[in-house]
């Protein structure tokens, strides 16, 4: 069967994450429903990874197999005509049968956005930022730099996912200003992420920024390989899956 790849953007606020589940509507469920409607048969949609409840995406990648007769339809337009306003198909392209949205990926980039303006949060940004006050961003940068590299990140993995090993290569954590004063974006690039790893690292970085931990404590907590040694998880709304990388890229159109 022909295989179609797509980039998906969504506001995760009213969804229970990516993966189909019994107790709430998910992104995967909505996509599969509309692909099946077009193909008049059940179709499984495979994502590059599972974003949690309330997490957003602008660059989630997914693929699905379709009957031969459906291979050449304009999937981008067809799906966008059926999807709700908080889910959009950004791009589509045909790919070979050996491509897999999850297993072919070489790295991903997530962003986490903080709002540090003390007097207000713009209503338009409120669903996408974590409001925090009086933090030392330079100390947060120092702690972030100590976490980069190939390490066991089990101190930053929440329960709920069965993985064979918890070693990942965190290639970089960078901080850039957002569109508005007081808005700061932390970008994370890694060859893979454990369950809620970015949110747990952000929880640590915030404690450093507040002066409740020293930057060097990041080394101790990482080396402990014990989730109980790390601070609480940052809230979901600040996290966004920005981009998934593949060998040679993809022939988007």
Cβ distance 56 to 12 under 8 Å? yes
* 52 counts as catalytic: yes
From the candidates 52, 119, 136, 191, give the one annotated as an active-site residue. Answer: 52
Burial letters for 160-188: b for 16+ Cβ neighbours within 10 Å, e otherwise? eeeeeebebebeebebeebeeebbbbbbb
Nearest CA to 137 out of 110, 169, 173 is that of: 173
Quick check: helix, strand or coil at residue 74? coil
- Which helix (H) or strand (E) segment holds residue 77: the answer is helix 75-80
Cα gap 147→150, rounded to integer Å: 9
Cβ distance 141 to 202 under 8 Å? no
Give catalytic residue positions. 52
């Amino acid at each position: 069967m022909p295989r179609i790849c797509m980039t998906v953007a969504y506001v995760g606020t009213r969804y229970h994450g990516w993966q189909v589940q019994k107790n709430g509507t998910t992104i995967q469920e909505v996509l599969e429903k509309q692909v099946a409607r077009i193909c008049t048969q059940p179709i499984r949609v495979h994502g590059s990874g599972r974003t949690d409840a309330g997490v957003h995406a602008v660059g989630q990648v997914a693929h699905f197999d379709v009957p031969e007769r459906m291979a050449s339809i304009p999937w981008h337009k067809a799906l966008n005509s059926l999807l709700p306003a908080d889910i959009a198909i950004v791009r589509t392209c045909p790919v070979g049968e050996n491509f897999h949205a999850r297993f072919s990926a070489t790295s991903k980039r997530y962003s986490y956005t903080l709002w540090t303006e003390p007097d207000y949060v713009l209503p338009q940004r409120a669903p996408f930022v974590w409001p925090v006050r009086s933090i030392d961003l330079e100390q947060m940068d120092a702690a972030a730099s100590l976490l980069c590299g190939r390490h066991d990140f089990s101190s930053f993995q929440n329960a709920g996912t069965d993985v064979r090993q918890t070693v990942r290569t965190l290639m970089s954590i960078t901080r850039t200003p957002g569109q508005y004063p007081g808005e700061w974006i932390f970008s994370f690039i890694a060859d893979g992420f454990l369950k809620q790893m970015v949110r747990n690292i952000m929880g640590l970085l915030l404690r450093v920024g507040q002066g409740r931990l020293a930057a060097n404590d990041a080394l101790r907590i990482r080396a402990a390989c014990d989730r109980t040694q790390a601070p609480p998880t940052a809230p979901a709304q600040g996290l966004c899956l920005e981009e998934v990388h593949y060998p040679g890229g993809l022939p988007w159109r």
